[in-house]
Amino acid sequence: MNRILAFIVEHMSFLWQGARFRIVSSMVSTSNGGDAVLLAESDGVRLRFVCDRGQLFLDLQPASARTDEWYSIDLLRRMYTGQREASAVLDASYAAFLEEHLDELEQRFAPAAWDETLAELAILKQRRAQEMFD
């Protein structure tokens, strides 16, 4: 959990400005050197920070979602850039991307726009899966 919190403090303090996000859940285990999950949520989007075997990951879903489906930050950045990402490991560039596009992501994750966003993400997920075998 310390890795997640340290990363958020260093790169993502913008989440807490104006009380936009709140921590809604967390879980820590002692396996693999301390795996952890932290969930933060705004009115529009839910963030899942994961520390798995010492690597950090970030997934998003609509705050209104009642599903187990999450979308990784690399997939979301690809939705904007059209470029294949080299890694899904959370780094400062992904934090900067989220800060720059958070308002628009919340709009795209809103119920009124979600069906269109979901269709686009499904295409990108399929393309990413195919590229793993290229």
Taking only the tens place, the pLDDT of each residue in 30-88 is 776 679 999 999 999 999 999 998 899 999 999 998 878 999 999 999 999 999 998 99
Rounded average pLDDT over 96-113: 96
| Amino acid 32: pLDDT | 66
- Is 63 in contact with 43 (CB distance < 8 Å)? yes
Give 7's DSSP letter: H
If residue 26 lies in a helix (H) or strand (E), which one and from where to where?
strand 22-28
Residue with token string 């997640």: 4
Q: What are the boundaries of each domain within the chain?
A: 2-131
Show the tokens assigned to 121: 């993400």
Per the CB < 8 A criterion, the answer to whether 12 and 3 are in contact is no
Please give the angle made by the CA atoms of 22, 39 and 43, to the nearest 5 degrees. Answer: 45
